[in-house]
Amino acid sequence: MNRVSFIFVGLLCTLAVSWWGLVLVPQFHLGSQQPVAVPGSSQTYPAPRLGLATRGQEVYRANGCFYCHTQQVRATGLAPEFQTTNAIVRYLGADIERGWGQRLSVARDYLRDQPVMIGSRRVGPDLTNIGMRRPNDPVQANLLWHLRHLYDPPSVAEGSAMPAHRFLFDQRRVQPGQSVNTNELAWVDLDTRLEIVPKPEAVALAFYLFSLEVNVPLYEAPLPAPPGVTADLSASAAPLGNGPVP
């Protein structure tokens, strides 16, 4: 290999092939994906993120939450159960059993994300479906849970190793006789007698987290049916699957 031209052409070809294979073709393949209609609804999936949740996504990005939290649910396999001519698809894997999601994550789930922050390490739990973890609580209670968790993680999640994000909050000393909780998302820390008022960034982040949910069946990732309901294997007929994971 004593000829520079030979090395140069070799390098050009190898990089061009790699660029073609892992940049151009995936862009043609994945870049052409479109949102799909939600069965039984006029909405599309993934839905555009709106309002405070969009701002919250920027807070999530700025503070690098994705270095500890993933947004990708794994499934180790499928276990179809056939019942006469119908089948229920059950996903296998610890992520599903932990309740981190109802189905595995697929490329189409990230169509509206900018940037896509799927994460590569689970120091904390997966957040794909964090907006659906407390389905019975009202919105206000969900938001408050997230805010308290951001302020003092172990106070709402026992044993949490997450660093506290107190810089997202204002702390005000409560004076005797002073009215508190003027902000409905604020609270008083009884130990320190401080009124904890979330900054707009914290509220936006809580809205973003609450907006994270993957609960729509796709052709490439159908949802398991609620107990007692059978479903066709085709996604178009798959139920929304709001019930617990079988």
Applying CB under 8 A, the span of 77-85, 161-169, 185-193, 226-234 interacting with another protein comes to 161-169
- Does residue 77 touch another protein according to CB under 8 A? no
Residues 27-56, mask of contacts with another protein (x by CB under 8 A): x-xxx-x-----------------------
> How far apart are CB 2 and another protein at their closest, in Å?
5
Count of residues engaged in binding another protein, rule: CB under 8 A: 73
DSSP letter string over 181-246? --STT-EEETTTTEEEEE-HHHHHHHHHHHH-------SSSPPPPPTT----SSGGG-----S---
Q: Which of 52, 56, 101, 108: binder of another protein (CB under 8 A)?
A: 108
Strand order across the 194-198 sheet: 169-173, 194-198, 187-189
Q: What is the DSSP letter of 144?
A: H
For 235, phi then psi, to 5°, come to: -65, -35
Q: Are 225 and 231 in contact (CB under 8 A)?
A: yes
Residue labelled with tokens 């798959």: 238
Applying CB under 8 A, the span of 130-138, 165-173, 203-211, 227-235 interacting with another protein comes to 165-173
Return the number of the residue (17 or 229) whose C-beta is nearest another protein.
17
Helices and strands of the chain, counted as H and E runs: 7, 7
Applying CB under 8 A, the span of 16-24, 82-90, 183-191, 238-246 interacting with another protein comes to 16-24
Structure-token pair, residue 84 = 């006469």
Q: Which of 44, 54, 63, 86: binder of another protein (CB under 8 A)?
A: 63
> How far apart are CB 33 and another protein at their closest, in Å?
6
- Does residue 79 touch another protein according to CB under 8 A? no
> How far apart are CB 86 and another protein at their closest, in Å?
27
Return the number of the residue (34 or 136) whose C-beta is nearest another protein.
34
What CA–CA distances, in Å, run from 16 to 11, 23, 105, 246? 8, 10, 30, 47
